[in-house]
Amino acid sequence: MSKFYGYARVSTVEQSLEVQLQALVQAGAEDIYKDKATGKNTNRKGLKALLEILETGDTLIVTKLDRMARNVKEGIALIDDLTEKGIKLHVLNMGLFDDTATSKLLRNILLSVAEWEREMILERQKEGIAVAKANGKYKGKPKKYHDKNPAILHALELFSNRATNKKTVKEICQITKVSRASLYNIAKEKGII
């Protein structure tokens, strides 16, 4: 017996899937798979799990085509694979995609636009970072541990005095809650090791 599955995706963990989930339920999705990951490729946990259970006669519902892929090559391969297996693709803002020439044309155009849009976002982001760096306002990701952080100061003190305090690096990290990698990196920066 054929089933109706839904797939929802947002690019970051901060974004909400709620609007997509509601639309998919209203469209008749019985089981919904989701991801909070970039659409640049189709290597996503939720999508992979969904593709493994879809069978001939099933319908896959998505709110927009770019929820499945924002890459022309992988998007076309994915949709062609679904079509060849007899799985219907229902894109809520476009309709049912099948093996017709019109569906293929729409698929190619929409995936091209989605890929172009993603590349434009990345380009604008790079430009913004370059301007911020030029103005001295972009320093990159802030360091968790800095010279005035009490935990790292305590860890460095214990690390420097290991001969007298008999503490292992593991014990120092447990006491101060500073990771081993951070402790070694900062100790190197400070010339302690």
User: Which residues are part of the catalytic machinery?
Assistant: 11
103 and 97 Cβ atoms separated by less than 8 Å: yes
The CA distance from 1 to 5, in Å, is 13
Q: How many helices (H) and strands (E) does the chain have?
A: 8, 5
The residues, ordered by sequence, that sit 6+ positions from 167 with a Cβ below 8 Å of its Cβ are 158, 175
Q: Which two tokens stand for residue 134?
A: 């030029």
Strands 88-91, 95-97: parallel, antiparallel or unpaired by DSSP? antiparallel
| Residue 61 and residue 5 in contact, taking contact as beta carbons nearer than 8 Å | yes
